[in-house]
Amino acid sequence: MTILVTGGGGYIGSHMVHALADAGEAVVVIDDLSTGFRSALPKSVPVFVGDVGSETLVEEIIKTHAVTEIIHFAASIVVPDSVRDPLGYYRNNTMNARALLAVAVKTGIRHFIFSSTAAVYGNPERVPVAETDPIRPMSPYGNSKLMSEIMLKDAAAAHKLNYVILRYFNVAGADPRLRTGQATVGATHLIKVAVETALGLRPQIEVFGTDYDTPDGTCIRDYIHVNDLVRAHFDALSHLRSGGASDTFNCGYGHGYSVLDVLGAVKRASGRDFAVRLSARRPGDPASIVADARRIRAQLNWTPQFDNLDTIVAHALAWERNLAEVRANSASAQR
């Protein structure tokens, strides 16, 4: 069985590819490298640079490499950007997912794992939020992912395709071996931005909204270590390979931290203070969103290993220091 990983050069995708390669799985990657990096991947893994929405290219890859399973990461993921450019998000997330599913059905793909998001819940009525709770996206990003979920479920009902949908909460941290991490220039992930600020790579960090109905007025999120998220994908693969039914699972720890909690953790880990600017709310940001993760623990026997904010921040900080050193050495070599 060969696994096609779309968006494999990106932050989460590259961690998945390394883990698959470590496990001896046959894997092939397609990525347009608009935000991902070939250097983040093992040299042994075939990488095709192209658009996942290109049905001809994807079909050729599937047939050439005897692909039987797909893990679909490729997507645009920044909520405020989706508000500014909704049609771009529907093209890249929804239309490309439709094209990928068409090829999956045509070529007889057996298993499909889809990277979805907690953004489909919008501002939930209760926290923690469960998979069966109302779906009310607040942004084009959340809508684009929900549309893709619906297409996947409908395609699976009509064809011999089994799937797992994983709804990510806030992914953070990095590979403890420093092989890959969040390297996108201008990334908006809170822990990434805070760590960059602590290292002097940004002059300040902006906190969007201090008047939410939360203990300290800032947004609360469920932060999950990227390696634990990768483990969830392995557990989902095992579930499907053993004949498990198609299903949807939250990927989070079941408890949250506020923006100010995270900034405090970064200051502790780095030993540095840094400038914090308090700003107005951003469109599309719910006050609090935390996973009810009982289903994935019970049905997939998912057991996280890095459920600790200080650990997540420490790994992100180590990665960022390593990345800064690599970039500095590269710039020096070019002079």
- Residues annotated as catalytic are 141
Q: Is 322 helix (H, G, I), strand (E, B) or coil?
A: helix
Residue 256's nearest CA partner among 299, 286, 297 is 286
d(CA 7, CA 31): 5
**Cis before 140? omega within 30:** no
Contact between residue 76 and residue 82 where contact means Cβ atoms under 8 Å apart: yes
Neighbouring C-alpha atoms within 13 Å toward the C-beta of 53:
11
Residue 73's nearest CA partner among 36, 38, 110 is 36
d(CA 113, CA 110): 10
Q: Which two tokens stand for residue 287?
A: 């006050």
Contact between residue 239 and residue 157 where contact means Cβ atoms under 8 Å apart: no
Q: Which two tokens stand for residue 227?
A: 């390696």
d(CA 335, CA 328): 11
Backbone torsions φ then ψ of 225, nearest 5 degrees: -65, 140
Q: Is 280 helix (H, G, I), strand (E, B) or coil?
A: coil
> Which uninterrupted H or E stretch holds 134?
none
Residues in CB range of 83: below 8 A, 6 or more apart? 139, 140, 283, 284
d(CA 329, CA 335): 10
